[in-house]
Chain A
């Protein structure tokens, strides 16, 4: 099998470093990839489940832009909706009818939603949700899960990170995932001072196995929060529309007050949404939050088309089927080479880890060997599959994984 080189990517990176701090920042930074040399840095084009880098190497993409891509790149219906709206009006001085239509669509399909609000990024709406919780309750504290990620606003960051002051997260209390007793304890300790509880539908930290909700966890959480008048915020930025058409809470049977959506909402076009219950409608209207591009209509049109298309193909079912097949195959292939591949979380956005080496260096090398053969695997983030991933992609991925394991053994 041919293995890839990345001269153009590296040249672009050198140019980037001259004019962009860190070259490539944030979650696209090569830093946490481990075997950085095996990874492309810049993409030239993308279609379906694949992208091509600037060196002409083609990858089956298992990161799906870290979540936004769900129907495949260059999806005809979504892109047409975007382009058509662009030709009509995008960012203008007044709001677009698409905003109303998209809100209506979300209210119709998301059982927990009586209203919707739009922004650009996940953190726009997680931060808004927390502010609304404070405004609604007149309280200060927010409870979140240790290792949970809700964006880069200072209150969400871990202590000691650059530029973060102690006060920034003074009112954010972190508790372990799936630990209902810890939540009870915190609620008792700060009786009357907890505004909101924010968590993802299940625990999907970077650098660690994913953990699904324990039996009864969400139902207990919901009952406790209700009893104490604490606003229940679901951060569905990453999982939203992948696990259930109406929000991931439907998958696990609970009822949040606010749900944050973003990534898969418009198949890659920039838009985030906060939806909520009637009880929080007036207070939400009173909490000022906005942005220069939050009314741009083309991404709203793309979101409408995406939601329709997701229903049309019954996306959560397709994703689950592909995810299960992918995972079963990879586990089997690993085993045939004497390795144990641990797969955790929901099958369509699972976290993978070779357990034969606790340090994860082996896992990093395997992801690197796969990537330089055309299956784009980031080692320490959950992967994603899309409805565009085909059986041919699946077979190719298995072949690559197989050869990558062989390469590991040869190197050893």
Chain B
């Protein structure tokens, strides 16, 4: 098993992808990127690539490199990329030398802002607004990790193979549908937003409940009994997805 490759895909497509949502959830992040107009590409030799395209106060994440990015950061291996995410290494800039200062300062500040929400100090969770952003990004990280885990983690692959075809919608009562997964013969796909007719629905009563369930401080059995979590529809889809999602922690810890 190549842990580094999976880890790199999770870093690029599940963790970094959150920068797409962060500015819409957090005014500080929105402020930071307001005037940015550039595409930053992360490219791993023989491995995955991703681009963050900033314009008009928004960030879009693409799972590939465009032909002419403004900045192209090259990594010799998935391990090299993972080391950068762990703060232990720097990429080789192939393009956009004039943007090195931007990367080192402005962009780094944005990623620190993301970390601020993804790795909470426990006392911050008492603030409802912070808890909501933290939980939403954690949920999205998990949802977007599933396809990569299902493809490359051997146990997750086995679980995914035994999972019924269909779609799973994640709903937080106050928020509505947040994201969904689709299991088909082509594998697993993750997307934000609502589905017309999901095969299954994982419904959280509120953000604090979702936060505790996703962080593992409240188990799903207690939560369903207390009405804080409801599993509707094709329950094996939910059970199996939870098992797959939990495996992300082993790579992203």
Contacts and interface: CB of A to CB of B under 8 A. Distances in A.
Contacts of B103: none
A14 to B, nearest CB: 7
A37 B233 contact: no
A85 to B, nearest CB: 36
A364 B158 CA distance: 28
B162 interface: yes
A31 B233 contact: no
B199 interface: yes
B5 interface: no
A361 interface: yes
A167 to B, nearest CB: 13
B225 A359 contact: no
- Between B162, B222, B224, B247, the greatest number of chain A beta carbons within 10 A of the residue's beta carbon is seen for B222
A108 B210 CA distance: 57
A13 B225 contact: yes
A161 B219 contact: no
Contact of A359 (B199, B219, B244): B199
A29 interface: yes
Interface string A11-35: 0011001000111110001111111
Interface string B154-168: 011011001000100
A360 B243 contact: no
A364 B225 contact: no
B219 A21 contact: yes
Contacts of B155: 159-160, 166
A24 B221 contact: yes
B233 A30 contact: no
Contact of A160 (B159, B225, B236): B159
Interface in B215-253: 219-222, 224-227, 230-236, 240, 243-244, 247
Contacts of B219: 21-22
A360 B233 contact: yes
Interface string B120-145: 00000000000000000000000000
Given A160-B155, A160-B159, A36 B233 contact: no
B158 A160 contact: yes
Contacts of B158: 159-160
A207 B233 CA distance: 10
B224 A36 contact: yes
Nearest to B201: A361
Interface in A68-110: none
B200 interface: yes
A290 B131 CA distance: 51
Contact of B200 (A36, A146, A359): A359
Contacts of A24: 221, 225
Contacts of A31: 220-221, 224-225, 231
Contact of B221 (A29, A160, A166): A29
Contacts of B235: 32, 34, 207, 380
A131 B221 CA distance: 32
Q: Majority SS of interface residues in chain A?
A: loop
A36 B244 CA distance: 24
A34 B238 CA distance: 11
A44 B92 CA distance: 70
Interface string A150-179: 000000001111000010000000000000
A34 B200 CA distance: 10
B198 interface: yes
- Between B162, B197, B224, B226, the greatest number of chain A beta carbons within 10 A of the residue's beta carbon is seen for B224
A22 B221 contact: yes
A161 B232 contact: no
B111 to A, nearest CB: 32
Nearest to A164: B155
Contacts of A191: none
Given A159-B159, A207-B235, A359-B197, A23 B227 contact: no
A29 B231 CA distance: 13
B199 A23 contact: no
Interface string A355-377: 00011110010000000000000
A41 B144 CA distance: 35
Contacts of A25: 221
Contacts of A29: 221, 224-225
A177 B233 CA distance: 24
Interface string A23-62: 1110001111111110001000000000000000000000
B156 A360 contact: no
Given A159-B159, A160-B159, A207-B235, A359 B224 contact: no
Contacts of A13: 225-226
A35 B166 CA distance: 20
Contacts of A34: 230-233, 235
Given A21-B219, A22-B219, A160-B243, A36 B225 contact: yes
Given A160-B159, A161-B243, A359-B166, A23 B197 contact: no
Contacts of B247: 160
A159 B239 CA distance: 13
Nearest to A159: B158
Nearest to B243: A160
Contact of A17 (B197, B199, B226): B226
B145 to A, nearest CB: 15
A166 to B, nearest CB: 8
Nearest to A31: B224
B232 A361 contact: yes
Nearest to A174: B162
A33 B220 CA distance: 13
22 contacts: A13-B226, A17-B225, A21-B219, A22-B219, A22-B221, A23-B221, A29-B224, A31-B224, A33-B224, A34-B230, A34-B232, A35-B230, A36-B225, A37-B227, A146-B162, A158-B162, A159-B158, A159-B159, A160-B159, A160-B240, A358-B234, A359-B233
Nearest 9 Cβ contacts at the A-B interface? A22-B221, A359-B233, A31-B224, A160-B159, A359-B199, A160-B243, A361-B233, A160-B155, A23-B225
Interface of A: 13-14, 17, 21-25, 29-37, 41, 146, 158-161, 166, 207, 358-361, 364, 380
